A and B are shown apart, each in its own frame.
Chain A
Amino acid sequence: MASAIQWENDYEKALKRAGTEGRPVLLDFFNPG
């Protein structure tokens, strides 16, 4: 089943968004298989 989560794949971009949007980052290290 597909996830509706809109994942970023750029760590630096996620940090920048966290600063401007006032939310923490969830960093998920995953196994792409």
Chain B
Amino acid sequence: MDAVTYPDQRVAQFIAENLIPVRVPYDHEQLSKQFNVKWTPTLITLDSDGQEHHRTVGFLSPEDFIASQLLGIGKTHFEKGAFDKAISTFDELTGAYPKSSYAAEAIYLLGVARYKSTHDPKPLRGAYERLSSDYPDSEWAKRAYPYRLIQ
């Protein structure tokens, strides 16, 4: 990460605009135990209460890093019930990084967030249709499979 991803200007700008970045050594006695960290790099997205919402382990390219962090930010909004902010963030991810390995999960959660926001189930079927068309081999297409029955 220090050789490729963190020196990338796009990454530095994204972090500056969207996140509070903090680094701790993997053998930090208290935090490594608290978050059960076993390998590096481990990247965790937290809210201001210290609640975990997203985690990755291993190297990420600059593009995958930004896509992953957008997913983490969106999941933080989603899990705190801020569905409009979650929808906006997932939309940004799927629009800017459709080929990333995080796009399929974002489409799934986009459908759920729209349903939670409107109580209209059609976005769930929309998520299934988009996943089965564009990401048919993803686990998220399988998870959305029941939504094909929604009228």
Binding site for B on A (CB under 8 A): 1-11, 13-19, 21, 23-32
Instruction: Determine if B53 and A27 form an interchain contact, defined as CB atoms under 8 angstroms apart.
Output: no
- Is B95 at the interface (CB under 8 A from chain A)? no
Chain B interface category by residue count = 35 or more
Q: Which secondary structure characterizes the binding site on chain A?
A: mixed
Instruction: Name the interface residues of B1-24: CB closer than 8 Å to any CB of A.
Output: 1-3, 6-7, 9, 11-12, 15-16, 18-24
Q: How long is the Cα–Cα vector from A18 to B48 in the complex, in angstroms? A: 5
Instruction: Determine if B19 and A23 form an interchain contact, defined as CB atoms under 8 angstroms apart.
Output: yes
A31: nearest chain-B partner, CB-CB = B40
B39: nearest chain-A partner, CB-CB = A29
Instruction: Determine if A30 and B48 form an interchain contact, defined as CB atoms under 8 angstroms apart.
Output: no
B57: nearest chain-A partner, CB-CB = A29
A/B interface sample: 14 pairs, CB < 8 A:
A3-B2, A5-B6, A5-B12, A5-B15, A7-B23, A15-B48, A23-B18, A24-B19, A26-B44, A26-B72, A27-B45, A28-B43, A29-B25, A30-B26
